[in-house]
């Protein structure tokens, strides 16, 4: 057993994989083709449920199983109105790992999943919530910094590592957010991480079904191009999202200004104005990932996008990460 195997043994034992490298759940990207390719290459793919209903999720799990016999997980959004039905689907299909995201899950939700024989992984944004989740019975945690793509929290990965990873010993902790090279994985493992989660790095895999335009935008972008959506007025809060800046980024700010002006002119209620702002991005990610609309779609991306220079196979990406991690550990 080499040093890398020793460092992430806790993670590989938990995941049931060769490598403790997870691919984060990215809506419209983390579908059966990419998920199965990552699992087949020794990593851990996570199917993005997003806004799928129970029937759609059932089909996606079936399709994934047809492509791999290796372990994979399913990501569920706790705020989904039918989340309990989605949990039932996962348990019926004997999914071994359920990842809960998008809010603090209820104790009953965690107990339902564990009672059905699956393991529960949750995102922990603070140490106090990490401790609460562990007390409620979660089997593993993910700490994800603001460098990540999509919906993000306010704290960087490096600070979360110091706050949470170095103080949590009860369950495996996986680190995510801004990770694009194996050397970084190696160093987080040395600090006690069970493994790492990457998302952006896998968007330009050959096995990713993302539109060629979407992949081209990632290859062209630098780290500073992946920006956080601006909030015009704190009285009308927006959930921060990190994405590559484009025409839609500017239009979102204009939409906020227009909605607030209409509210102040008594043309809209505050609820109506807030709804006008919140629905701006509806379907925007699909426009970009599936339809290839780079102007009006949402190009959700982490800051590690600047490290992507070409399309590669999943196997090549994972092998590259392993080689970089091993070289770093040998130097140390």
Domain count, the chain: 2
Domain presence at residue 215: no
Whether residue 243 is found in the same domain as residue 138? no
Dihedral, CA atoms, 96, 97, 103, 107, nearest 10 degrees? Answer: 50
Whether residue 8 is found in the same domain as residue 136? yes
Domain presence at residue 216: no
Domain presence at residue 217: no
CATH number of the domain that 187 lies in? 3.20.20.70
Q: Tokens 């199917």 label which residue? A: 47
Whether residue 245 is found in the same domain as residue 125? no
Whether residue 104 is found in the same domain as residue 195? yes
Q: How far apart are CA 309 and CA 305, in angstroms?
A: 9
Average pLDDT score, the chain: 95
**Residue pLDDT, tens place only, 256-285:** 999 999 999 999 999 999 989 888 887 899
SS3 209: coil
- Range 175-190 average pLDDT: 98
**Residue pLDDT, tens place only, 105-128:** 999 999 999 999 999 999 999 999
Domain boundaries, position 265: 222-300
| Sheet of strand 241-244, all strands in order from the earlier edge strand to the far edge | 150-151, 241-244, 226-228
Whether residue 141 is found in the same domain as residue 191? yes
CA-to-CA separations, 168 to 137, 141, 171, in angstroms, rounded: 14, 10, 7
Whether residue 27 is found in the same domain as residue 111? yes
Whether residue 152 is found in the same domain as residue 73? yes
Identify the band that residue 332 occupies on the pLDDT scale cut at 50, 70 and 90: low
Whether residue 67 is found in the same domain as residue 132? yes
**Residue pLDDT, tens place only, 184-196:** 999 999 999 999 9
The number of CA neighbours under 13 Å toward the Cβ of 98 is 31
Given a cut of 90, is residue 300 above it in pLDDT? Answer: yes
pLDDT at residue 278, rounded to an integer? 83
Whether residue 70 is found in the same domain as residue 204? yes
Domain presence at residue 100: yes
**Residue pLDDT, tens place only, 200-224:** 999 999 999 999 999 999 999 999 9
Domain presence at residue 253: yes
Whether residue 80 is found in the same domain as residue 42? yes
Given a cut of 60, is residue 1 above it in pLDDT? Answer: no
Whether residue 115 is found in the same domain as residue 178? yes
Whether residue 325 is found in the same domain as residue 237? no
Q: How far apart are CA 30 and CA 239, in angstroms?
A: 22
- Range 21-31 average pLDDT: 96
Nearest in space to 43 (alpha carbons), one of 173, 195, 176 = 195
């Amino acid at each position: 057993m080499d040093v890398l195997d020793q460092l992430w043994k806790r993670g590989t034992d938990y995941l049931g994989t060769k490598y403790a490298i997870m691919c984060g759940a990215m809506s419209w990207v983390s579908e059966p083709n990419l998920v199965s390719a990552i699992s087949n290459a020794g990593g851990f793919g996570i199917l993005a449920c997003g806004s799928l209903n129970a029937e759609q999720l059932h089909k996606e799990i079936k399709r994934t199983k047809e492509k791999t016999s290796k372990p994979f997980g399913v990501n569920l959004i706790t705020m989904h109105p039918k989340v309990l039905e989605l949990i039932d689907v996962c348990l019926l299909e004997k999914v071994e790992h359920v990842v809960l995201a998008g809010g603090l899950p209820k104790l009953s939700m965690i107990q339902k999943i564990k009672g059905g024989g699956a393991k529960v992984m949750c995102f922990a944004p603070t140490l106090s919530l990490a401790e609460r989740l562990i007390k409620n019975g979660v089997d593993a945690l993910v700490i994800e910094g603001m460098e990540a793509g999509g919906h993000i929290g306010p704290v960087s990965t490096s600070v979360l590592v110091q706050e949470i990873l170095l103080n949590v010993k009860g369950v495996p902790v996986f680190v995510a957010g801004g990770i694009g090279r194996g050397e970084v994985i190696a160093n987080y493992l040395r600090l006690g991480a069970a493994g790492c989660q990457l998302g952006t790095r896998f968007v330009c895999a050959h096995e990713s079904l993302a539109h060629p335009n979407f992949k081209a935008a990632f290859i062209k972008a630098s780290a500073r191009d992946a920006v956080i959506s601006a909030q015009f007025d704190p009285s009308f809060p927006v959930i921060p999202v990190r994405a590559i800046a484009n025409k839609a980024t500017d239009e979102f700010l204009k939409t906020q200004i227009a909605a607030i002006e209409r509210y102040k002119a008594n043309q809209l209620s505050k609820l109506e104005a807030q709804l006008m702002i919140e629905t701006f991005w509806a379907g925007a990610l699909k426009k970009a990932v599936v339809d290839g609309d780079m102007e009006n779609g949402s190009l959700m991306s982490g800051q590690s996008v600047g490290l992507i220079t070409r399309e590669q196979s999943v196997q090549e990406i994972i092998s590259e990460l392993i080689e970089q991690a091993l070289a770093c550990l040998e130097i140390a």
